[in-house]
Amino acid sequence: MFLKGDVCVVTGACGFLGRRLIRLLLEEENLGEIRLVDKQIKLEDVQSFNDCRGDTRVQAYEGDIRDSAFLRRACRGASTVFHVAALIDVTGSVEFSELYGVNVKGTQLLMEVCIEENVPSLIYTSTIEVMGPNRGDPIHNGTEETVYECSLKSPYRRTKKEAEERTLQANGELLPDGTRLATCALRPMYIYGEGCRFLLGHMADGVRNKNVLHRMSSQEAKVNPVYVGNVAVAHLQAARCLKDPNKRDIIGGRFYFISDDTPPASYSDFNHVMMSPLGFHIKDKLPLPLGLLYVLCFLIEVTCTLLRPFIRLVPPLNRQLLTMLNTHFTFSYNRAQVDLGYVPRYTWQEARKGTVEWLAGKLPALREKLET
């Protein structure tokens, strides 16, 4: 057990990935203490880990990541911080100041606190969206060496990119005790699995549409989603490597793409793969030709901008989201395999089975809610 007796901090602990990572840490590492950091933590959130906590102390730290005094309390005496917390926004519904405050300023504060409190290791959960995509500019099986200049102006992408850059630049910072901070960033593909709110939202849309899923991405625009359990494994492997003196300098200051063996598919077709066992179908074609959809999105965006002084409207689809949904964008996890020793623990069959069963369990209540 590489992290035996350590104190680990997980920000965004009550989120989709945070919960899965905490459970993995408790099951695989005999930690001294694990600290759940989130803006709101219920008693049942802590109690949900009772079956796997063993002798590890599980502590809840409820507060704002933009509060440095709160972060100092949460990080004092810690050996590893997993920074999973972030505001995710693909439609532009969150004000930029809020996104920047949480995703960038919160990350910067956390790093400063890690330095002040002699925390030696920080792992940052980034996203594939820091790479792009650009319209009409696909990537097939990209790697960490792939040169790609992203032109996307998405506020979410910008804030995650800046936060990642600041995290990696902090690698090697001198700590008060004479040691140095080591950081790395993981860039997962689209994460799916039990608890994925995006899959649940698409299923709700399908129920409203009489069990027919909307198609918003062409079949040719393939991506390679990654199962949440495998993303958690990658985080654990990164923590183990940062603690290993022989590997710490190799991965410190670097980013890694995290995918697995989930078959590449477009976002829409992937939703159908997950929901077809539950009786859902999918439309064969986009609702309009792609070029016309871009024009329509542009007109809607202009209208929303003109109305902004009077009312704030957020369309469910914009040109940047349409680009993401309709650009082939796949990446290899080979570098993570070589440097981190990352190997997907869950097969595609296991990941799909678990996800479908979770969706099936949610479907009856969802139908009842939407049909009443």
Taking only the tens place, the pLDDT of each residue in 243-277 is: 999 999 999 999 999 999 999 999 999 999 999 99
214 occurs within a structural domain: no
Whole-number Å distance between alpha carbons of 92 and 131: 18
The yes-or-no verdict on residue 5 having pLDDT over 70 is yes
Residue 153: pLDDT band by 50, 70, 90 thresholds?
Answer: confident
| Mean per-residue pLDDT, 143-162 | 90
Residue 43 has pLDDT above 90, yes or no: no
Is residue 77 a part of any domain in this protein?
yes
What is the extent of the structural domain holding 245? 7-197+225-263+329-348
* Domain-located, residue 60: yes
Q: How many domains does the chain have?
A: 1
Within-domain flag for 220: no
Q: Which CATH number belongs to the domain containing residue 114 in this structure?
A: 3.40.50.720
CA pair distance 335, 214, nearest whole angstrom: 35
In a domain, 44, yes or no: yes
pLDDT at position 272 is 97
Q: Is pLDDT above 80 for 117?
A: yes
Q: Is residue 365 one of the residues assigned to a domain?
A: no
- pLDDT in the model for residue 232: 98
Residue 1 falls inside a structural domain: no
**Residue range 61-77, pLDDT digits in tens:** 999 999 999 999 999 99
Q: Compute the CA torsion angle 163, 167, 168, 170 (nearest 10 deg).
A: 140
pLDDT at residue number 1: 60
Check whether 139 has a pLDDT greater than 80. Answer: yes
Among candidate residues 61, 100, 124, 156, the one labeled active-site is: 156
One-letter-per-residue 3-state SS of 286-338: CCCCHHHHHHHHHHHHHHHHHHCCCCCCCCCCCHHHHHHHCCCEEECCHHHHH
Q: What pLDDT does 154 receive?
A: 87
User: Is residue 267 among the annotated active site residues?
Assistant: no
pLDDT of residue 269: 97
SS3 366: helix
Predicted model pTM: 0.95
Is residue 319 one of the residues assigned to a domain? no
214, 207 contact by CB (below 8 A): no
- As a whole number, mean pLDDT of residues 271-291 equals 95
